[in-house]
């Protein structure tokens, strides 16, 4: 016969309840720790590598001859080219003789940037194309215009990007950050493939991502359906998608002899950063890179012989960089890129 003491019985039940609660909350606690580590690891890694002083240190290993190549006769498209890294990229390519097509949303700011580049470089083969990259239809119209001229595209620079703190929808009903950073990047790249193929084997797509992607895994929640919208996290997610898309494009189109590269410009002092992250810009005042320093690796990627580059790679300060930081549990998330590609095909109406 077994006897149950009321105190022992209640104490045992209480212990079992506590153990059960711990077991149920353990996954959430583990996820909390992982998320906290991602942010901390990104912050430390970024402060050590992404600042102006880090660029100056890394530049000691740069080769001057890498940037001496000319681009006469080559056609380059740069999105978001009216300010910041896009403007510096467009000017850098134009100064080397390329025909540069600046894709901008604002006609007024685009014309001012166009005049600045032509004046600074003496290159009159710089053109302005007006397109709102949050609109799939406008991107398709732009691509059709290029296609009708049959212009081979040697370099497509996907630079345009935004970070809206509050949830905003485009007229088509897409979350704004996603519409520009992901769907816009996907749509213009897919639309330009035939023209990129015309310029092969020298053609390449360079996508300006962000180190912010280190703080986020790939997720199928592309338009951030969570109740408490976080614009900074959505931006990080968008940039992770861009890096994973670059990998996928390199795999899918290797037979077309088009190179696909993503890059990170470091923490640069640009109008976009000042507008979207004023607190960050203030805290790191004097430590941020110039737009020219941020654009350096974009131009470097445009100039290098393709045999020196790894298609699908992620580049930073003229060298291939890791896509994942240690113990952040982001690497395995890239396995869902196929389903994300399917979603983007459906939303854009453009098949691969």
* DSSP output for 229-286: --HHHHHHHHHHHHHHHHHHHHHHTGGGT-EEEEEE--SB--HHHHHH-HHHHHHTTT
* Active site annotation includes 235: yes
Give the E-state strand segments of 155-258 in sequence order. Answer: 155-158, 204-208
Pairing outcome for strands 314-316 and 319-320: antiparallel
Is 177 within 8 Å of 163 (Cβ atoms)?
Answer: yes
Joined tokens for residue 328: 């952040």
Please check whether residue 143 is in contact with residue 191, taking contact to mean a CB–CB distance below 8 angstroms. Answer: yes
Q: How far is CA 243 from CA 17, 140, 206, 218, 264, in A?
A: 44, 23, 11, 10, 10
Question: Do residues 163 and 232 lie in contact, with contact meaning Cβ atoms separated by under 8 Å?
Answer: yes
SS3 assignment, position 156: strand
d(Cα 127, Cα 115) in Å, to the nearest integer?
10
- Cβ atoms of 102 and 128 within 8 Å: the answer is yes
Determine which one of 235, 253, 261, 315 is catalytic: 235
Angle in degrees, 0-180, between the axes of helices 84-94 and 107-121, rounded to the nearest 10: 40
Which residues are known to be catalytic?
A: 235
């Amino acid at each position: 016969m077994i006897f149950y003491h009321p105190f022992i019985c209640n104490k045992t039940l209480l212990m079992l309840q506590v153990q059960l609660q711990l077991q149920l909350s353990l996954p959430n606690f583990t996820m909390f720790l992982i998320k906290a580590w991602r942010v901390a690891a990104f912050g430390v890694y970024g402060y050590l590598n992404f600042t102006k002083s880090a660029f100056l240190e890394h530049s000691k290993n740069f080769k001057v001859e890498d940037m001496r190549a000319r681009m006469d006769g080559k056609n380059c498209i740069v999105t978001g080219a009216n300010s910041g890294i896009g403007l510096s990229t467009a000017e850098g390519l134009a100064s080397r003789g390329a025909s540069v097509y600046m894709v901008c949303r604002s006609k007024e700011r685009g014309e001012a940037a166009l005049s600045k580049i032509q004046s600074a470089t003496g290159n009159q083969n710089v053109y302005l194309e007006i397109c709102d990259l949050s609109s799939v239809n406008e991107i398709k119209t732009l691509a059709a215009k290029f296609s009708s001229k049959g212009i081979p595209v040697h370099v497509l620079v996907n630079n345009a990007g935004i970070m809206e703190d509050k949830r905003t929808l485009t007229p088509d009903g897409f979350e704004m950050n996603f519409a520009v950073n992901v769907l816009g990047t996907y749509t213009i790249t897919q639309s330009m493939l035939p023209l990129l193929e015309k310029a092969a084997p020298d053609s390449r797509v360079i996508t300006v991502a962000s180190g912010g992607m280190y703080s986020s895994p790939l997720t199928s929640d592309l338009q951030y359906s969570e109740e408490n919208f976080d614009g900074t996290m959505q931006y990080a997610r968008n940039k992770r998608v861009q890096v994973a898309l670059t990998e996928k494009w390199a795999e899918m189109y290797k037979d077309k002899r088009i190179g696909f590269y993503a890059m990170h410009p470091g923490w640069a002092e640009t109008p976009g950063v000042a507008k979207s992250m004023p607190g960050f810009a203030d805290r790191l005042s004097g430590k941020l890179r110039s737009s020219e320093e941020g654009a350096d690796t974009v131009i470097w990627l445009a100039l290098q012989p393709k045999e020196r580059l790894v298609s699908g790679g992620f580049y930073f300060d003229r060298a291939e960089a890791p896509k994942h930081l240690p113990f952040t549990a982001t690497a395995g998330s890239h396995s869902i890129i196929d389903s994300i590609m399917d979603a983007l095909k459906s939303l854009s109406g453009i098949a691969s």
